[in-house]
């Protein structure tokens, strides 16, 4: 039979006080689950002026203490019993489902995919929530690393989810300790992306001239826009008077897997105005003329859902992000260019700016990063020319001559 967990009763301090000629009883204690002081008082009908009144009040205080201990024990025992009935996997899934309305679909979907992996590992163990120890979590991380061969960055996604759920359970007093405080956060493995050099960018721009996705590729190169930002652009986002492009929405998927446009960006910094340069203005104008001709050709069969969107195909449907990615990969392969991700066009833009002397702070604003450390961590290691410039500055300052 499973041994019940012992409830540690708090140490009480008690007082008898005279309030308006009547004795009152007061208890003080430190709650073992919140570590905060609590008090409870009780009025008696014992008059201070009565004979042996203090003796009577002292007896009443003893009874009050015993009454408190009984209630405390029943209250926290029920809490413990409640926790003992909750399976870890059940609570984890219920918590994720509660987050559903507070998260974007992609984040919720990511949590559910993480749950599937966690479930596969823990289901045979049949552990209750209050039985989970740091060792169980660390063993799970070893399983991910050694058996599933996943990166630390993927393990970190699981860590963030588990940290969130156990903190919630602790704050709700379902468990008495947040065990994730004792589980080290997995170290992030920095991704070293490939980028196009200036010559390679120029070669790529020459290759895509006249291509149906020429505009989309140019937006990624000249502005460093994310794919989701490119596809959500509207003609109404273009201000031809002030010569700006308003980046204020993105394309994502809903829970049905359908593409939708939402105003909620990755962060506040992602919402920004970009300068409308002539080459982009020209290509947007060309796209608008093409769309007008497509509407005339397809008439009632033309898709009206994505009206005002710039990045649509001949039938008026929004360009699928996967189609853009596959086309980009195919162009690289057919033209013997280095293999990059579509997102690396954004990195190439930033790297070019950095090498041309644009400050990290300005690049941060240009790309819509919320934190300058993101900009620095991703792009600063590309600038080997800056290192040469630095060493030459030191060498020249010290008047050292090369032999």
Does some domain include residue 4? no
Domain's final residue, options 156, 182, 208: 182
Q: 99 is in which domain, residue-wise?
A: 88-182
The pLDDT, as a whole number, for residue 111 is 92
Are 331 and 362 part of one and the same domain? yes
Are 210 and 343 part of one and the same domain? yes
Does some domain include residue 277? yes
CATH number, domain of 254, equals: 1.10.443.10
Are 102 and 249 part of one and the same domain? no
Are 70 and 106 part of one and the same domain? no
Question: Which parts of 265-337 are beta strand (E)?
Answer: 272-275
The pLDDT, as a whole number, for residue 2 is 44
Residue 134 in contact with residue 179, Cβ under 8 Å? yes
Domain's final residue, options 47, 62, 84: 84
CATH number, domain of 135, equals: 1.10.150
Are 269 and 336 part of one and the same domain? yes
Residue 394 pLDDT level (bands cut at 50, 70, 90)? low
Q: Show Cβ contacts of residue 104 under 8 Å, excluding neighbours closer than 6 positions.
A: 252, 262, 264
Are 52 and 77 part of one and the same domain? yes
The pLDDT, as a whole number, for residue 138 is 96
225-242: average pLDDT: 95
pTM: 0.61
What residues form DSSP beta bridges with 261? 251
Domain's final residue, options 46, 67, 84: 84
Does some domain include residue 2? no
Q: In angstroms, how far apart are the furthest CA atoms of the chain?
A: 109
Does some domain include residue 147? yes
DSSP string, 28-67: EEE-TTT--EEEEEEEEEEETTSTTHHHHHHHHHHHHHHH
Does some domain include residue 192? no
The interaxial angle of helices 152-171 and 134-142, nearest 10 deg, is 160
Q: Show Cβ contacts of residue 352 under 8 Å, excluding neighbours closer than 6 positions.
A: 198, 201
- Tell me the pLDDT tens digit for each residue of 70-108: 777 666 555 555 555 789 999 999 999 988 877 777 788
Does some domain include residue 254? yes
Strand order through the sheet with 272-275: 238-239, 244-247, 272-275
Q: CA 164, 170, 173, 174 torsion: positive or negative?
A: positive
H or E segment and range at residue 362: helix 360-367
For the chain, the first-to-last Cα distance in angstroms comes to 84
Both tokens assigned to 50: 């009565």
Q: How many domains does the chain contain in total?
A: 3
Are 169 and 61 part of one and the same domain? no
| 18 φ/ψ angles, rounded to the nearest 5 degrees | -95, 115
Does some domain include residue 297? yes
Does some domain include residue 45? yes
Q: Compute the distance between CA of residue 224 and CA of residue 218 in angstroms, rounded to an integer.
A: 9
Are 102 and 169 part of one and the same domain? yes
Q: Which of 94-103, 185-194, 214-223, 326-335 has the lowest mean pLDDT?
A: 185-194
- Tell me the pLDDT tens digit for each residue of 341-379: 999 999 899 888 888 888 888 888 888 887 766 666 655
Count of Cβ atoms closer than 10 Å to residue 172 Cβ:
8
Residue 1 predicted with pLDDT over 60: no
Pairing assessment for the beta strands 244-247 and 238-239 based on DSSP bridges: antiparallel
Are 274 and 287 part of one and the same domain? yes
Proportion of the chain above pLDDT 70, given as a percent: 83
Both tokens assigned to 72: 């405390």
314-333: average pLDDT: 96
What average pLDDT is seen over the chain?
Answer: 85
Are 260 and 338 part of one and the same domain? yes
Considering 15-29, 58-72, 381-395, the range whose residues carry the highest mean pLDDT is 15-29
232-238: average pLDDT: 95
Residue 156 in contact with residue 186, Cβ under 8 Å? yes
Are 275 and 379 part of one and the same domain? yes
Are 249 and 371 part of one and the same domain? yes
The pLDDT, as a whole number, for residue 191 is 65
Q: Which of 117-121, 190-194, 242-246 has the lowest mean pLDDT?
A: 190-194
Let me know how long the chain is.
403
């Amino acid at each position: 039979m499973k041994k019940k967990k012992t409830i540690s009763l708090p140490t009480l301090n008690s007082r008898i006080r005279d309030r308006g000629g009547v004795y009152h009883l007061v208890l003080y204690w430190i709650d073992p689950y919140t570590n905060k002081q609590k008090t409870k008082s009780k009025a008696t009908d014992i008059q201070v002026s009565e004979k042996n009144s203090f003796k009577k009040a002292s007896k009443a205080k003893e009874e009050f203490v015993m009454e408190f201990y009984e209630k405390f024990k029943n209250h926290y025992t029920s809490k413990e019993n409640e926790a003992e009935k909750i399976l870890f996997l059940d609570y984890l899934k219920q918590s994720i489902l509660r987050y559903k309305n507070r998260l974007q679909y992609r984040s919720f979907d990511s949590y559910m995919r993480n749950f599937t992996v966690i479930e596969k590992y823990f289901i045979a163990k049949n552990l209750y929530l209050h039985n989970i120890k740091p060792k169980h979590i660390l063993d799970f991380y070893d399983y991910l690393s050694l058996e599933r061969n996943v990166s630390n960055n993927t393990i970190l996604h699981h860590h963030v989810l588990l940290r969130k759920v156990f903190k919630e359970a602790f704050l709700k007093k379902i468990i008495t300790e947040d065990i994730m405080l004792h589980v080290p956060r997995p170290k992030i493995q920095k991704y070293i992306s490939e980028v196009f050099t200036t010559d390679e960018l120029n070669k790529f721009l020459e290759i895509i001239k006249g291509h149906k996705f020429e505009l989309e590729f140019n937006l990624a190169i000249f502005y460093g826009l994310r794919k989701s930002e490119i596809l959500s652009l509207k003609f109404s986002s273009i201000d031809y008077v002030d010569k700006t492009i308003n980046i204020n929405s993105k394309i994502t998927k809903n829970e049905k897997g359908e593409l939708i446009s939402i105003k909620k960006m990755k962060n506040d910094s992602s919402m920004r105005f970009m300068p409308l340069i002539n080459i982009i203005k020209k290509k947007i104008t060309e796209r608008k003329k093409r769309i007008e001709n497509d509407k005339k050709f397809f008439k009632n069969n033309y898709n009206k859902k994505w009206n005002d969107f710039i990045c649509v195909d001949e039938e008026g449907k929004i360009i699928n992000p996967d189609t853009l990615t596959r086309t980009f990969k195919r162009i690289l392969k057919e033209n013997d260019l280095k293999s990059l991700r579509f997102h690396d066009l954004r990195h190439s833009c930033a790297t070019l700016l950095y090498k041309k002397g644009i400050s990290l702070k300005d690049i941060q604003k240009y790309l819509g990063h919320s934190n300058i450390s993101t900009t620095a961590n991703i792009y600063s290691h590309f600038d080997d020319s800056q290192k040469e410039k630095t060493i030459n500055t030191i060498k020249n300052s010290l008047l050292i001559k090369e032999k």
